[in-house]
Structure 1
């Protein structure tokens, strides 16, 4: 007589669970080192080098231009990005932007239009540089950069070959007058990088013409190819 052995239900259930686990493992093919598409892009991205730099400014003024950059004011040249208003960071100075490292700067009083100054930069280097956006100006110890005249935005960036110049017009006060008028003695000029974010390279500090009076209505134009264009605003 044959004897029939019946397995306990618990043993059958355990065997079925083990077989199911092996089947899922073979079909999955995943490993602990697998990455999602988003992770692969993030880890493979390369950060773009910053444009900021430091140095000693050269100009017609008495100071070396090593002051920290002003904070971004309304419509200021520094109010274009989250990085605006920070002092220039250390860098190699290899940017193609015109800065105090490769230009000389002069500020002059003009007879017309009234209440205007003309800021002129000249490329003293051996290769071309670009005068991006508008200069960020600080009169004496002002905390905010002078506002930029947005109507003065040119069709193209002013490119300076060696020995060539670019110009910015500085309105000191409006005909109607403004608040917090005072006589200023020094002007610090900061230069924008190609991105327009913050400032790059060395600033330049200049002595202002005697009796320069400015108020809260002061503004500066974008860099222009000619003095006439810079002074029409």
Structure 2
């Protein structure tokens, strides 16, 4: 009978420990849910990046060949989202923006905090492409969540007095670092 009593006491104690642990986990989960809800609420107040709150620069990439790097640095006081890819027009007479490299879609939208940057890689020319011409400027408009323009176009001067673009030219989606932007 002593063995049975001792077994029941140990079982009761184990059950109480399990119940306490589950209660603790429940309290923690409720706290995390509240934190996640607050984070979601604050994330929804972050606006899309625009040319008005971003410093835009374009440089020639050393590698890979036939690539430019577009850098957008947040000069504002609040973070913003760099949605999709930039809308780029190569040259003053360009009729349509460069296509976006669909294989470069990041896992998440790039959040650009004040002083930080987002990057897009630009493939300018490929032997597989057709035609081509030398462009001296690059028209840049940032895209919103739906893919449309968020503001006015900003014109940048291309390096080396101009760059050759042909029909294979594409631009990557915004990335949080230059190396990932230049993979495409």
- TM-aligned CA deviation for residue 180 of structure 1: 2.0
1:138 aligns with 2:89: yes
Q: Provide the secondary structure at the position in 2 that maps to 1:120.
A: strand
Confirm or deny: 8 A CA contact 1:181 1:213 kept in the other structure: yes
Pick closer, same or farther for the CA change 1:227–1:181 going to 2, 3 Å. same
Between Structure 1 and Structure 2, the one with more helix by share is: 2
1:202 aligns with 2:152: yes
Match of 2:105 in 1: 153
Residues in 2 aligned to 1:177 and 1:217: alpha-carbon distance in whole angstroms: 7
- TM-aligned CA deviation for residue 155 of structure 1: 0.3
Match of 1:167 in 2: 119
RMSD: 1.4
Confirm or deny: 8 A CA contact 1:148 1:219 kept in the other structure: yes
Confirm or deny: 8 A CA contact 1:136 1:190 kept in the other structure: yes
User: Which of the two has higher C-alpha Rg?
Assistant: 1
Match of 1:115 in 2: 66
Consecutive unaligned residues of structure 2, counting only runs of 5 or more, are: 1-44
Residues in 1 aligned to 2:51 and 2:151: alpha-carbon distance in whole angstroms: 7
Q: Provide the secondary structure at the position in 1 that maps to 2:51.
A: coil
Match of 1:100 in 2: 51
Consecutive unaligned residues of structure 1, counting only runs of 5 or more, are: 1-93
Confirm or deny: 8 A CA contact 2:76 2:114 kept in the other structure: yes
Q: Provide the secondary structure at the position in 2 that maps to 1:134.
A: coil
- TM-aligned CA deviation for residue 144 of structure 1: 1.1
Paired residues in the alignment total: 138
Match of 1:187 in 2: 138
Match of 2:19 in 1: none
Residues in 2 aligned to 1:192 and 1:184: alpha-carbon distance in whole angstroms: 22
- TM-aligned CA deviation for residue 95 of structure 1: 7.9
Confirm or deny: 8 A CA contact 1:115 1:173 kept in the other structure: yes
Residues in 2 aligned to 1:201 and 1:213: alpha-carbon distance in whole angstroms: 27
- TM-aligned CA deviation for residue 109 of structure 1: 0.2
Confirm or deny: 8 A CA contact 2:51 2:153 kept in the other structure: yes
